[in-house]
């Protein structure tokens, strides 16, 4: 009769032999196992509802509708070395005659030499059409933007969770208007960007639009396609745009881009005027 220790040793030897045998059998089977990623989304020709799901046509007078807008407040450069202090005062954001006016002023507040406003929509959505009809400010040192950020930063801090710039313009390069997408692969100076020259960007209203589907982000200026960024199916590193985003509108002053050629203090006050903001739901969200 085998003792307990001898039995245990024999069991271990047999198991080891079996494992080695199975391993060799697998290795010699001639089979290879290759991970196949899921296919990238296809363009399903999504369309958009014709009636906005959320709208502000600025029909009130005075303070922008507090049920629709909130604000980023304060100074400190905002990560770009900017020179403005953002407020929610009527002097920097007001509504009259069916128009929202965001004004940047030469005014010392909170240690900054300028004041302005950075408005945030209380409405957010995943996929859809966003339209903003606006007339842009002028003046060297200005940096107006109409753009989108995520609600919850599901994939991490900027730029990992994405940013979409529906409109940016810098005052030292007037009338060249930029549409951009930022993420952890493409961001800052490496962002995916398209530019269109609009000769009357600061003297007339123009329509700035984003069409956002699971397949692509497309940008239009006055209904002309100027930007396309396609979902490559590689996940959040290139497509963090599958979460809720909200809209921001602001005029920055100076900073790493707007202030490259300095600030012309005689250009202030200067304003961005907004005729309306529309959000439309997407139709046929499924692939």
Q: Among this protein's residues, is 82 annotated catalytic?
A: no
Whether 163 is a known active-site residue: answer: yes
> Which one from 82, 84, 112, 168 is the annotated catalytic residue?
168
Q: Which of 82, 131, 163, 210 is catalytic?
A: 163
Concatenating the DSSP letter of every residue in the chain gives ---HHHHHHHHHHHHHHHHHHHHHHHHTS-------PPPPP-----EE-SS-SEEE---S-BS--TTTEEEE-B-S-TTTTB-EEE--STTTEEEETTEEEEEEEEEEETTEEEEE-EEEEEEEESSEEEEEEEE---STTEEEEEEEEESS-TT-TTTTT-EEEEEE--TTSTTEEEEEEE-SSS-GGGSEEEEEE-TTTTTS-EEEEEEE-SSEEEEEETTEEEEEEE--SS-TTT---SS-EEEEEEEEEBHHHHTTT---GGG-SEEEEEEEEEEE-EE----
Active site residues: 163, 168
């Amino acid at each position: 009769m085998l003792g307990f220790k001898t039995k245990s040793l024999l069991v271990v030897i047999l198991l080891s032999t079996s494992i080695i045998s199975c391993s060799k059998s697998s290795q010699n089977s001639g089979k290879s196992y290759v991970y196949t990623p899921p296919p990238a989304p296809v363009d399903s020709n999504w369309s958009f509802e014709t009636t906005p799901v959320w709208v502000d046509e600025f029909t009130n007078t005075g303070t922008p509708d507090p049920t629709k807008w909130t604000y980023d407040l304060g100074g400190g450069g905002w990560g770009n070395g900017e020179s403005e202090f953002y407020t929610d005062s009527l002097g920097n954001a007001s509504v009259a005659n069916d128009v929202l006016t965001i004004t940047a002023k030469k005014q010392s507040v909170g240690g900054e030499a300028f004041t302005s406003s950075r408005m945030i929509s209380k409405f957010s959505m995943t996929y859809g059409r966003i339209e903003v009809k606006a007339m842009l400010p002028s003046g060297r040192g200005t940096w107006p933007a109409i753009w989108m950020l995520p609600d919850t930063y599901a994939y991490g801090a900027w730029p990992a969770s994405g940013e979409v710039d529906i409109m940016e313009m810098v005052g030292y390069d007037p009338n060249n208007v930029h549409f951009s997408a930022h993420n952890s692969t493409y961001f800052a100076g490496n962002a995916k960007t398209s530019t269109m020259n609009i000769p009357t960007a600061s003297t007339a209203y123009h329509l700035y639009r984003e069409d956002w589907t699971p397949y692509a982000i497309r940008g239009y200026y006055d209904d002309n396609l100027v930007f396309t960024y396609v979902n490559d199916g590689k996940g959040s590193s290139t497509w963090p745009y599958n979460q809720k985003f909200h809209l921001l509108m602001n005029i920055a002053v100076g900073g790493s881009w707007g202030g490259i050629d300095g600030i012309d203090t005689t250009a202030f006050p200067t304003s961005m005027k907004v005729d309306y903001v529309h959000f439309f739901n997407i139709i046929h969200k499924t692939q």
